[in-house]
Structure 1
């Protein structure tokens, strides 16, 4: 009996046919049930919903008629009868349609028949009657009709019967929906039963089919596991055996083919890796070629092998034998081939592998200790890198070369070729390195010789010239070396010259600064010594006042000098900060005139300020720096002008000048401040020099005009910080014009409140006071006795705690305050001040120094506020620090206000009046 075998596709197809047949039968049954359900749903949707809608329409028609009658009766307008007329026409049509739809429900038809007479009665007895009486304007009949409520009774009865009718109809609809739900549940039960039946059939068929397939697959898997399960080492030589006659047998055959292919690929990769590892650490091309052919020949089963390497000789390229394997007949072996010569040369030209079988008996003999034989198969392969043949390998074997052997050769081409290029490159680098070392030694020797010759040239100029000529003729390198040395000497000479000039300028500056500092210092020392040595009884009050004035003026001069040096130091260190704020330009003329009019009057000069009408009243810049620049320029103009006039002009800048000097500010608001004098003028060669620090037109100590040479340098740097420019135009003995270009910034870059304005006001007040005291001492020192007496009453019997460790400051402040009638208590440090305050004595004000031993001013003020709880006690901080954030730091520590050292007594007393008044 012949056994019939089904393949897997046929088995799966049969199962699918059975499952589809079961599903088809199930779908026919379910479809029939669903059609019945759909018919019932359509009946309810079309019939019951229509009945409900028509019932609602009848109710609406009655309501429209009633609404129309009411509107007409109230207004008498015929337009209100339109709903009544439409309702009286439409209700009968809707009633007839509704009655027809209720043919399947006689009970509801009878209920509907009872409603019709009521509608007709209301129309006849109420609707038509009321319309007729209204048209006749019979108000008495209408009044009587509405008082009897005839129409209302009929309408109430209509609403009741319609509502009852609608309730009955909804009940019928609900009963039908309930029946529909029961039918739906029956269909679901049928569907569940069909699904269960089909599932069982499908499961049974799937189980049968899976067993028939899985049993064979398990056999294949078992065989594959037996092949691979050998201590994590895959045995690619094993093969799968399957007895089935279906696709699984084909799977086994394909797996066997795959194993064979993997075995070949594994051999190729393993061989490729083994051969590639021999390249590491080899730096000689012969060693590389020998290692390569010795490892490759056994892999391919070759009996002998030769490697030919590419060499370029003048105009032709040849391939030289550099390594061989098992070559016995060395004498008859060819040592080199040209391109196209023999198989080796032709292989290099064609750039492809040559495979030759069935070699003749006398082609070549492979010799061993037991005998000799002739290989019958030959392969010649090129070794290429980026399309260029670098070497040719020739191998001979007794057995034919397999496809895997040729694949391995093809894969080795690029790797072995790259190794050849790398080794040749390393050999070339080593050769060049050796040559470079030799050349370096030679150059070093020549450099040492050249250095010795240069030293001799410095002693004997004639010998240097002869040696240089000899070196120029003999060695180009020596010439370059000499040029570099000459350039270095020139640079050193130029640097030495600049250094000497800088040293000279600084020496002149130090001499000038010494002169400028000694003048006020001498006055202070001499007059203070006179005050100390002479008995006060021997001195007149005018002399004491004069001595005090001179000492005060000299101290102010010293302070200005120190401020200039500090400003320049801050600028050079990059610590100078600009504080932007609104500056009232219209106030600058009056301010400058108040400061410099006394100076001009004393020197008999005319001082004028001109403001252009188009000049804006307000600009955004650092007002303190701008005023400092203007004061420096005007001070210089007063100093260097003996007769004539000094003019300050303020006006908008010329756009052409802004475009040339400050192109980045084109289109923005820029003002010019021009200071013109009729003084001595500046030579043309000195006009750039005067802006450099420490330098003046006349920098000697016996110069006619004093000064340190820092003013214009500070002006230039301040101008740069403000984003502007400063120019000078001058003619010797005819005067000078300094023009200052200052932009009005668009944004405030520092939210400093009113601090810049306050600082500017203080600086202007101090400068104004200084100028008046220097130029008009009599007026500056004449007090107003009435004003002074009224102000001093505030200080009477006030108690002040002075915290300072400097005995000189303590003496000066105590003396000044006690003259005003103030009682002063002194503490040497912050800790002692806390102890005094804890003693119970009440003080009206505290003057707190910052830099003190044991406990400094910051700590003391914080302790007074936090530990002692004296929040209302005024504390004025006294500090010598001129840092920008010092005021905020003092206020943060608990100070009520802040004043800088050296103290201006008038400012201190003014500040004390403010806080004592509070």
Structure 2
């Protein structure tokens, strides 16, 4: 913070003024407060004294008035008595409120109690007199009871008056003493203020004059001392005022002038050494000799104690920096002989073409050794050597002290000249090498030309034979092309057949699954426990049949080579989480232990098709749980053991095991190790066949190791491929795509329905377009449970007619394969009709061809679902569209 002389003087004067004003104000306030307090106290004492005098008078008057009334029976005395009593009581209360000191209040309470006793006794006397009319008895009671009390009132009141007068005199004396004390303190504070003002002035003047003396003494000493004329001295003044400004300006001027003289000396040293090193490079014709000469010369010049010269060799991805020469280098576990570009600090300096300077190196980084001992350097300098913008070498220097800027400049300028020399010598050596190689090649070509003459004679004979074979090959090729055409047509027929079979099987399954789900839910509560169990059994059996259809279609696609693979990054922790989420409930149900293990040396993710990888792992885990009745199942993700390479997903179980002679058989379709297992454990034998084919598509394999009665280990090994530049690799399938169901959306049925707003459904009108009455019936029952009005049509033409009669339809469930007018044509027609452009249409199809979803959206569908649909998914989709 800047504190100028003007500020110092101003603050000093203001401080003095402040102290003087504070003393005067304090004295005035204290005197005023004392006077007002004394005036209030005197007024209170005077008031108490005045009322105490009245009490003294009234105490005597009370006794005289009562005595006069008893002797004369004159009512004026009685009136006077009662008036005295009233005044006396009022005065006692007033005085009691005015008294502050506790000891005074205690003495006054004795007088007040005595007055109260007098009034009570006089009232009793008058009451007896009025009752008995006995004057003698009343006079006797007055003398014995009332008069003694009255006679005490006078002395008590007189004593209280005297005490109050004494207190008043004492307080007047105290006030006079306090006034004297205040006057004395005012005089003392005035003296202190004067002394403080004097001290501030002395300190301020000393501070200013001492700094001025420092400046003048330094300047005088510099002008009179001839020995210091070459270097300006430094003035040590740190005050933040004008004197400090003068000192700092002088110091900056001295620093600039001193630096200028040092820079000239450094520049001469720099130019001399750069020229000397350039001269030494002349006449060197070998790279290793040049590198050794450079590192041997440059290391001591910059006061370094260690140096290494790395030369860039190779081409493309094989480029690396190899150690070519060194200074004080000692082979140990610390040093490295070569680096790839971007590897370590040396490789990073080459990659970025920039110098790296590190200070405060750790003790174990490198040791510089001599005959007497060894120690760690303090600073490390890594500098690339360039020629025409390309890095050709890197030098590394270590020193016990930090590299100065002039030393870094020397290394940089010497390295700049060295780059062109390295390029020249390297080119000369390559020319010499090429000349030697060309001589060897010339000799080899002469030998080979002689051999070619003999070969040509043989080729002429073989050419004649090849013409005959060519004609035979052309005939064979024509036959193969015909076979390929027939095979392609057969594959097309097979795909169409599978698609049609998908439609024929899924259509009845759709109604079966919907109705069985409705019965199993038992929303109306009219089914008993066994009937609900039967419905659940039907529903689960339908799902098993649906899974069998999907497995057969997957197997057909794999065998036809038409499965679509989409590669991307797959996180290994997510694979482990998927397995735990899917199979922990299964393990808990079967009483098995289930664990997942990820080795610590694994990469975070691999590059493969996530959907197919999860399908294989799910199939292998399902088999492990199926054939394991006790013990445990374990998923271990680790690096594959040699000779395999990549990431392995090993599923280990303690199940029934597989005989060695049957371990190849289990990967064939519809096959299991024992023909009886499918009756005991269930299943079709398709899972492993699909898995092995998918593993081959992922460029992987499945390895089996099993012992009968002890368990099995199925290991899926996939390569850890690097991600392609595009971010994904897609294997396109042929145009005739096999039937493929839409991926399921996993939803907890009861939990999800609870989140839906039932008010959205009430009163909505939904049109079902389907040619299968079983589907219409099942879907209608499901929707009517939501209080929805359901309409239906069996084909496209009927749909248009129903919409014409009911233009207030809120949503359409549109089947695709319809007679007369299919779903595609119906939706295109609807979108051309006024009022139905934005009507929500959910397309439903059991054929489920690969491109059906895109075709439905292009035809005008708002959404798409494949049959058989799950009620919770269907409700969720409908709810979503009705809520918009």
TM class by shorter chain equals: 0.3 to 0.5
TM-score after normalising by structure 1: 0.37
Greater relative contact order (Cα < 8 A, sep 6+): 2
